[in-house]
A and B are shown apart, each in its own frame.
Chain A
Amino acid sequence: MPKFEAGTFDVIVVGAGHAGAEAALASARMGAKTLVLTMNLDMIAFMPCNPSIGGPAKGIVVREIDALGGAMGRVIDKTHIQMRMLNTAKGPAVRALRAQADKVLYQQEMKRLMEDEDNLTLHQGVVEKLIVEDGTVKGLETQAGGIYRAQSVVITTGTFLRGEIIIGDLRYSSGPNNQQPSIKLAENLEQLGFETVRFKTGTPPRVNSKSIDYSQTEIQPGDDVPRAFSFETTEFILDQLPCWLTYTTGKTHQIIDENLHLSPMYSGMAKGTGPRYCPSIEDKIVRFSDKPRHQIFLEPEGRNTSEVYVQGLSTSLPEHVQRQLLESIPGLEKAEMMRAGYAIEYDAIVPTQLWPTLESKQIVNLYTAGQINGTSGYEEAAGQGLMAGINAAAKVLGKEEVILSRSEAYIGVLIDDLVTKGTSEPYRLLTSRAEYRLLLRHDNADMRLTDLGYRIGMVKEDRYAKFLTKKDLIEEEIKRLRKMMIKPNEQTQQLIQEAGGSELKDGIRAADLLKRPEMTYDMIAQLTASEVELADEVKEQVEIHIKYEGYIEKSLQQVDKLKKMENKKIPEDIDYHAISGLATEARGKLAEVRPLSIAQASRISGVNPADISILLVYIEQGRIAKVSV
């Protein structure tokens, strides 16, 4: 194959899945001349599994991406078929949006956004090899012989690296959904010294909507109020499609029992590690054999297709068994299976080989993001893609690197977990992974991140101005309610009584009255004769701030402690093997992870407080030594 010079860019992004799309858009938006090279331009931002975006923790990530100028929120706002707010009966910290996507429209919208972006070039091609000189990446080569040069490269190849699809005892080399796998690139990464692990994930069958008997299922409609992920969205889709709920039966379980020997997971055919939180139906039935039935959600894949995703039935049993399984489920007795479920195994790189910027430790200017880093999920991929894109561009443009902390964003939690602790299974975000989830709410993502987004050039002037106005209004209103006294007059007492509270004995500050569980902002506004009618999202902030002040305060104190430890930086050239006193295990782990701060060091498993003390002493010693020279 003759080689040819195909162009020079600041940043090249390999892959245009959820990570790649965000990375490319971010890099271009930051001002870097960016190329995205992907295997198939029709598959941009393709969803190989469930047609949905958001949910607990993940939905908050989408909002964070949006606050930092990313695309996922804006795109799903335009292309969903249904949206719901989850956990509404719980506290504000755990509320989250989830949308059912129109899969195809989502892809088209993302592609259009990328095509419209200045500074961004799209090109179809299969990358086989990186060009690395003196430990620094300089560009790459494609299957067609194209040589592309760049200062930074971001790899976002998802589950493609040596992908293998498994259905029963059928096993073949393939990317997701029968796309071609990336074998050459996998080999190249291995040659370059990357350590990899073998992971596995799976997807359920899809059925034809026309063949479903919906009368035997329960309807699951979306919320009938306008909802959106993006803080920018002003047009809402109210014409929504429902999902449907049905259940497995004793018959389903019996079929699985009888055919378990055909399952690759149990026959020993599959070797990769799958995620515990996404078990296949056969896993669920084996591990929780006393459960009489499992939920099955039927989710339409879009407005212009009859394909329906059968959530809850992820499986890699042979195709004929999958048919029997469907037949055993109420509503699906006559279902026509359009695609069978399958499992896929793939290589992921061990993420402790990355800096918290997602740059590789061994190859300068090379970044990786998304499922290649051992995660699973569109939102996790998009969040990493955004950060890798920002950092790759920042480095080229000589701007500051951006590392989100655990107290700033779920994206910070995600990346810190990956690069500090690694992962032994495909990693998914859960709210319980965040120590400060009361601060990392879905409602305040803009408050947390817009400043940063503006500073690095991801958020533009007009949006920033709007944000500042909103912030001022919130602060003003909180101040007002803290000062204003409410008298225990008839109107007040009546309102409190109606809300089910106990009477006021004395006058009370409006803010203190709002702290009572039964009171809402709107009631207080009534009593305090507010002159301006505030927007809902302003009211929400005021209410949450005041009501949960005590808890927020406690979290902030913890964050202060964390910050002190984060500010204690560890010099990059530190030689852990030269520090006497460190336990052997700690020494090995520290040398592998190379934490940037004492805070990060203390999160590495196997590094105990005594090691941290020693490290502190050692660093301080170095500092003093330098000063005294």
Chain B
Amino acid sequence: MEFDTIAAISTPSGEGAIAIVRLSGPEAIGIADKLFRAPGGRPLASQPTHTIHYGHLEDPTTGEVAEEVMVSFMKGPKTFTREDVIEINCHGGIVSVNRVLQLVLQAGARLAEPGEFTKRAFLNGRIDLSQAEAVMDLIRAKTDRAMDVALGQMEGRLSKLISTLRQALLESIAQMEVNIDYPEYDDVEEMTRPMMLEKAEWVRAEIEKLLQTSSQGKILREGLSTVIVGRPNVGKSSLLNSLVHENKAIVTEIAGTTRDIIEEYVNVRGVPLRLVDTAGIRETEDIVERIGVERSRKVLKEADLILYVLNYSEALTAEDELLFEAVKDMNYIVVINKTDLPQGIDLEQVQQLAGSKRMVTTSLIEEEGIDQLEEAIAALFFEGEIEAGDMTYVSNARHISLLHQAHKTISDAIGAAEMDVPVDMIQIDVTRTWEILGEIIGDTADDGLLNQLFSQFCLGK
């Protein structure tokens, strides 16, 4: 059987210090060699099979060193899938694995469908018959879950933006098609190269913007950077612990920064949060005291989300009001903690200071109010109040790889338009871009074009 080369993260997401990206297929070795640089410079293809090699991955587009990795190299048929298999071991953080996965996808691998490695193992005769049914169940179950996720994202802003781009492309395509299929109809403006070019350039710029947000890694790969602030003893570390406890945090030390800022990742109802300076909160409960006013201001400023904790049992202090001032223009949620104690705070005053921002009351000791807080976070994110980006990270590698493909095809179209190629040829790449963007939002129904055609134009005998 002949297949293309597939890749996927093969370790459970966010667990363990080391993650593995696995490739399988005829091009696996070639793809790895496009990226992998061993200290001695020897390509994997020239190495004996079933060996492990230390080195770096290099981003071929920029020439930059991307990740420090160990690569296992196994030639088929003595592998799980009976095909050539490469396993890239990298650091366990979400950032690293996703980066590695993106690199291999850019280098020509296709993101594996759920269960596809197992399927290949089966198709290549590696697994025996009795396991076939299990494989099918696996495919079904995983896909259904993936579909749920996809549906969840349909509401998201990414999907809206992509739909807008697609609609713009579709209108041009429909116009082109009408020019072709009804050449004598005068009611349809002739699609010209400059018109095509303008549209294509706009779409490309939008795709680039999206790719940029993804490479900045704002939400997409790194999570919303989230800071917990508040006076000492209001319950910041309890808040941190409940979030972490409820959501299984992954601790990462940030390379290149001082060891004392530690981040933890949690996934709150599908929203990836990167909790900043967790060690600080745990040790001294006070970020300002520990890292100084200037730096804490900076941390605050760079945050996508601030959880501002107040004490229910005490009246607001001048320091509280100063903090309100400091976070004024930012996304924050007011967490009024310690409702298990008698009220000391003037809620109306808080309301005034917080304006339209969300407020939740909690008693973290009694484990009350955490649900409401999580809901508030999710609402803030999904209702688009947070500006940093709008993609969830669940299937981000797939999105990014498709965006790269779309970028390539639309650039081909632009190149052709500049070269005076006939419009209907340019359209081939425009249509392809439209299709690829459709894959991102799971919309590949092919009657879209015909519907557009007949609703946009008046055609007939």
Contact = CB atoms under 8 A, between A and B. Distances in A.
Interface of A: 49-50, 56-57, 86-87, 89-91, 93-94, 204, 276-280, 283-284, 287-288, 291, 294-295, 297, 311-312, 314, 430-432, 438, 517-518, 548, 551, 554-555, 564, 579-581, 583, 605, 608-610, 613-614, 616-618, 620-621, 624-625
B458 to A, nearest CB: 4
A52 B140 CA distance: 51
Interface in B181-217: 181-187
A57 B179 CA distance: 13
Contacts of A311: 461
A605 B425 contact: no
A288 B113 CA distance: 45
Interface stretch (B121-129, B268-276, B318-326, B329-337): B121-129
Contacts of A297: 184
Interface of B: 2, 113-116, 119, 122-123, 125, 129, 132-133, 135-137, 139-140, 143, 177, 179-187, 419-425, 428, 445, 449-450, 453-454, 458-461
Contacts of B185: 295
A215 to B, nearest CB: 20
Nearest to B191: A90
B458 A613 contact: no
A618 B450 CA distance: 34
Contacts of A89: 422
Contacts of B177: 430-432
Contact of A613 (B133, B139, B181, B453): B139
Given A605-B445, A617-B122, A617-B136, A431 B180 contact: yes
A580 B138 CA distance: 12
A94 B129 contact: no
B187 A624 contact: no
A617 B132 contact: yes
A284 B143 CA distance: 44
Contacts of A583: 140
6 contacts: A279-B458, A279-B460, A311-B461, A312-B460, A438-B425, A616-B119
Nearest to A281: B460
Given A314-B461, A580-B133, A614-B136, A548 B425 contact: yes
Nearest to A284: B458
B199 to A, nearest CB: 18
Contacts of B424: 87, 90-91, 93-94
Contact of A581 (B129, B139, B450, B460): B139
Contacts of A517: 419-421
Contacts of B119: 613, 616-617
B139 A91 contact: no
B123 A620 contact: yes
Contacts of A614: 136, 139-140
B140 A581 contact: yes
Residue among A57, A93, A278 facing the most chain B CB atoms (10 A cut-off): A93
Contacts of B461: 49-50, 204, 278, 311-312, 314
Nearest to A608: B143
A325 to B, nearest CB: 15
Nearest to B419: A517
Contacts of B129: 621, 624-625
B460 A609 contact: no
A90 B423 contact: yes
Contacts of A86: 183-184
Nearest to A88: B183
Contacts of A94: 180, 424
Contacts of A312: 460-461
A87 B125 contact: no
Contacts of A608: 143
Given A605-B445, A613-B139, A87 B113 contact: no
A90 B183 CA distance: 10
Nearest to A614: B136
A-B interface, 8 closest residue pairs, ranked by CB to CB distance from nearest? A91-B422, A581-B136, A610-B143, A517-B420, A288-B458, A276-B454, A279-B460, A432-B177
A554 B431 CA distance: 13
Residue among B116, B125, B187 facing the most chain A CB atoms (10 A cut-off): B187
Nearest to A613: B139
B148 to A, nearest CB: 13
A276 B457 CA distance: 11
Contacts of B2: 564
Nearest to B146: A610
A554 B177 CA distance: 20
A200 B129 CA distance: 52
A469 to B, nearest CB: 30
Contacts of A288: 458
Contact of B180 (A56, A204, A624): A56
Contacts of B454: 276-277
Nearest to A555: B428
Contacts of A618: 132, 136
Contacts of A613: 113, 115-116, 119, 139
A614 B420 CA distance: 46
Given A517-B421, A610-B139, 14 more contacts: A93-B424, A277-B460, A279-B458, A284-B460, A431-B181, A432-B180, A432-B449, A432-B450, A551-B428, A555-B428, A580-B136, A581-B133, A581-B140, A614-B140
B25 to A, nearest CB: 14
A614 B2 CA distance: 17
A312 B114 CA distance: 52
Contacts of B136: 579-581, 614, 617-618
Contacts of B420: 517-518
Contacts of A277: 454, 459-460
A90 B180 contact: yes
B180 A609 contact: no
Contacts of B143: 608-610
A204 B461 CA distance: 8
Nearest to A58: B181
Residue among B187, B424, B449, B454 facing the most chain A CB atoms (10 A cut-off): B424
Contact of A430 (B132, B135, B181, B422): B181
A278 B113 CA distance: 42
A93 B424 CA distance: 8
A518 B421 CA distance: 10
A621 B183 contact: no
B122 to A, nearest CB: 6
A46 to B, nearest CB: 18
A94 B115 CA distance: 42
A340 to B, nearest CB: 16
A93 B425 contact: yes
B267 to A, nearest CB: 25
Contacts of B421: 91, 517
A272 to B, nearest CB: 16
Contacts of B179: 90
Nearest to A436: B428
B458 A294 contact: yes
Contacts of B123: 616-617, 620
Residue among B129, B179, B423, B461 facing the most chain A CB atoms (10 A cut-off): B461
B113 A609 contact: yes
